[in-house]
Chain A
Amino acid sequence: MINTKEKNLLQVNRLKKTFPVQGGIFQKTKKSVKAVDEVSLFILQGQTLGLVGESGCGKSTLARVILKLIPPDGGNILYKGQDIVPLPERNLKSFRQEVQLVFQDPHGSLNPKMTVGSTIKDGLRVMGLGKKYRSKRLDELIEMVGLPQQITKLYPHELSGGQCQRIGLARALSVNPQIIILDEPISALDVSIQAQIINLLQELQERLQISYLFISHDLNVVGYLSDFVAVMYLGQIVEYATSEELYTSSLHPYTQALLSATPQISTEFTDNQYYRLTGEIPDPTDPPGGCRFHTRCPYADSKCQNTTIPLFSLNNSHRVRCLKIA
């Protein structure tokens, strides 16, 4: 399964996940939510892919489907060239080890009954590594995430949010992962702590050449951290570009709206600069036909309402799901 020369560490092709929505007295399936709809993306070794979108657009579901924590309904997930979708759980051991997840809620994702030390060592124990090695590795990891050694004897409730998030990272790092999926890792933290965690993430990436899939709703953070950015709307990727292209020449009206809605530290501000989206994200059980964004798009016409729009490639790295651009 290992082909280290492959630079595309993880590639996802036309991934699909639909959740049934049940209702009525017999719990019949009435509607469905296409949470992840034909999503394709790739993660390169040592690089960061940012995934942005508003709440409910399917970001977290996509992360869980990629990890096969939720089985996909279609498409494939190529990890180091091998499709892991058809593999049974017992053959996923090395995939599970090499692709780790860090959650949003730093306190909620740690076991309150376990000390920090045993939480971090748990993954190593499952891998069958010896006691001596586990203790040595624990010391290394605690140092790596910038915490004092005494912390290993504490319980999660004794720690601050920032410390808990460092522990979450140390736990993910313990098994030498190739990819870490970070699901809104800093949104629950205090503003003055966020920069510490962002710096730590960058430092670790440089040192260990890990790849990140960084999920966030904050375009400022994503733009700063990512090499590539995918923008998601109602289960679909609407724009995919390098972060330079996205921030200097975004093309999809939704990306442009997101960018202009992101609060900026600037007092030069006029109403015209504020390109606002009217309305709200539509009901995902009943998404609009044609372009899913046409209900809120200022440029939409009848063609947008009726045609299913593919992701157009502009060049190697820039892809947009918009008729007006193509």
Chain B
Amino acid sequence: MRGQDIATETVPGKPLLNIKDLHISFRTDSAESRVVEGLELKIAPGETVCLVGESGCGKTVTALSILGLIPQPPGDICKGSIFFNDLDLLNLPESSLQRLRGKHLSMIFQDPLTSLNPVFPVKEQIKEVLVHHEELGPKEVQEWILETLIQVNLPNPGSILSKYPHQLSGGQRQRVMIAIALVCKPSLLIADEPTTALDVTIQAQIIQLFRSLQKTGARSLLYITHDLGVVASLADLIYVMYAGIIVEKGTAKQIFYNPKHPYTQSLLASLPRFSKKGSPLQAIQGTVPHPAAKPNGCPFHPRCRYTQFSCTQEIPKLITETSGHATRCPVLAEKSFSDC
């Protein structure tokens, strides 16, 4: 099954991953859910990009579409393109994708227990990826695996190799998942809520691991989460997603200290903190729209404080400032302009 290496060289200055105007919908008998609408996302080599949004906003679907894992039908990538270096991922045959996945692009899933195969020991599961992509002798395989396990800070890597997933703790399982994703030294790592199923102290350890991985190599990371607090220490760039569209994009500093979209603003204001004790939280009214019944225009307009008639007509365009901070709210952009 080993094929030729198909990913081409990275060109300096060009993004490693470039998603343009991506539209993904899912059809059922009764309705069509437009899960992702016009997503634009770029990741430079060595960069960490965080995609933040609530459940159902299309984060995971975006990640799966990069890897070509959206079942079609019911899924339908109706429009757009995804380029990895200069490979057009959406028009690549399955055999080429097979050679790409695990080697150049890999993914870490949310729940480490269900993502690992319960009937194989850890070693077999890491080996599977390795022998698929690399021509290595048994001794080298062992070395690569041990090296990766040390990289993910697993204590006693030698004894862990023969263990089954149920014999490991949650944090250890997630480290094994990360090892599987890292073993072929991919240039892009996608982590889909890797710490959501873990306790806070273990979450802190895993985030620390990601930070140390960032330092070591020119590996890009797409980190998907619903927790704004988690991304603070990791992200070079944050994309905030709401109901299938990117509503705001900026550095962690721009997003946290100077949020420009009403959704980001209200989300940050609504987070409970010890320091806010005694005063009621500024909750966002209403609920997240169902993907099959999204409102017309800006999807956030039924919950927004600044809604005007124009908001209900069409999805606003993403306005990028010179600082790179981009937001999809013309009302607020105009308002801050007139305030100046």
Contact = CB atoms under 8 A, between A and B. Distances in A.
Contacts of B267: 191-192
B218 interface: no
B270 interface: yes
A219 B278 CA distance: 16
Given A191-B54, A192-B284, A267-B256, A224 B204 contact: no
Interface string A257-269: 1101111111101
A202 interface: yes
A317 B284 CA distance: 35
A55 B199 contact: yes
Given A261-B203, A267-B252, A277-B201, A224 B273 contact: yes
Given A221-B272, A265-B232, A274 B208 contact: yes
A265 B52 CA distance: 13
Interface in B215-257: 226-230, 232-233, 252-253, 256-257
Contacts of A219: 200
Given A198-B281, A264-B229, A274-B208, A243 B268 contact: no
Given A192-B54, A220-B271, A280 B202 contact: yes
Nearest to A53: B199
Interface string B257-298: 100000000111011111011001111110110000000000
Q: How big is the B interface, by class?
A: 35 or more
A199 B232 contact: no
Given A257-B201, A277-B201, A280-B202, A190 B256 contact: no
A190 B276 CA distance: 20
Contact of A191 (B226, B274, B280): B226
Nearest to B287: A160
B287 A280 contact: no
A40 interface: no
Given A192-B284, A276-B205, A263 B230 contact: yes
A190 B56 CA distance: 10
B91 interface: no
A98 interface: no
Contacts of B72: none
A261 B201 contact: yes
Interface residues of A, number: 44
A312 interface: no
Nearest to B253: A267
A225 interface: yes
A308 B232 CA distance: 40
A262 B272 contact: no
Contacts of B226: 190-191
Given A224-B276, A280-B171, A192 B288 contact: yes
Contacts of B228: 191, 263, 265
A277 B205 contact: yes
Given A217-B200, A280-B202, A199 B276 contact: no
Contacts of A247: 274
Q: Describe A's contact surface by its main secondary structure.
A: helix
A48 B137 CA distance: 62
Nearest to A260: B204
A176 to B, nearest CB: 24
B277 A224 contact: yes
A271 B209 CA distance: 12
Contacts of A263: 200, 203, 227-230, 232
B48 to A, nearest CB: 13
A144 interface: no
A106 interface: no
A269 B230 CA distance: 12
B117 interface: no
A163 B290 CA distance: 14
Nearest to A296: B201
Given A257-B201, A258-B200, A265-B228, A162 B287 contact: yes
Given A262-B200, A263-B230, A266-B256, A220 B273 contact: yes
A199 B200 contact: no
Contacts of B201: 54, 257-258, 261, 276-277
B171 to A, nearest CB: 5
B204 to A, nearest CB: 4
A223 B284 contact: no
B169 interface: yes
A152 interface: no
B115 interface: no
A280 B268 contact: no
B280 A199 contact: yes
A298 to B, nearest CB: 13
Nearest to B235: A267
By Cβ-Cβ distance, the 6 closest A-B pairs, closest first, are A263-B229, A223-B274, A195-B270, A224-B272, A195-B283, A261-B204
Interface of B: 54-55, 169-172, 199-205, 208, 211, 226-230, 232-233, 252-253, 256-257, 266-268, 270-274, 276-277, 280-285, 287-288, 303
Given A190-B54, A192-B270, A265-B229, 14 more contacts: A192-B54, A192-B267, A195-B284, A221-B272, A224-B277, A261-B200, A263-B227, A263-B232, A264-B232, A271-B208, A276-B201, A276-B204, A277-B205, A280-B169
20 contacts: A162-B287, A190-B55, A191-B228, A191-B270, A192-B288, A193-B288, A195-B271, A195-B281, A195-B284, A203-B280, A220-B229, A220-B272, A261-B201, A263-B230, A263-B232, A265-B228, A265-B232, A271-B211, A276-B201, A277-B201
Interface of A: 54-55, 160, 162-163, 190-196, 198-199, 202-203, 217-221, 223-225, 243, 247, 257-258, 260-267, 269, 271, 274, 276-278, 280-281
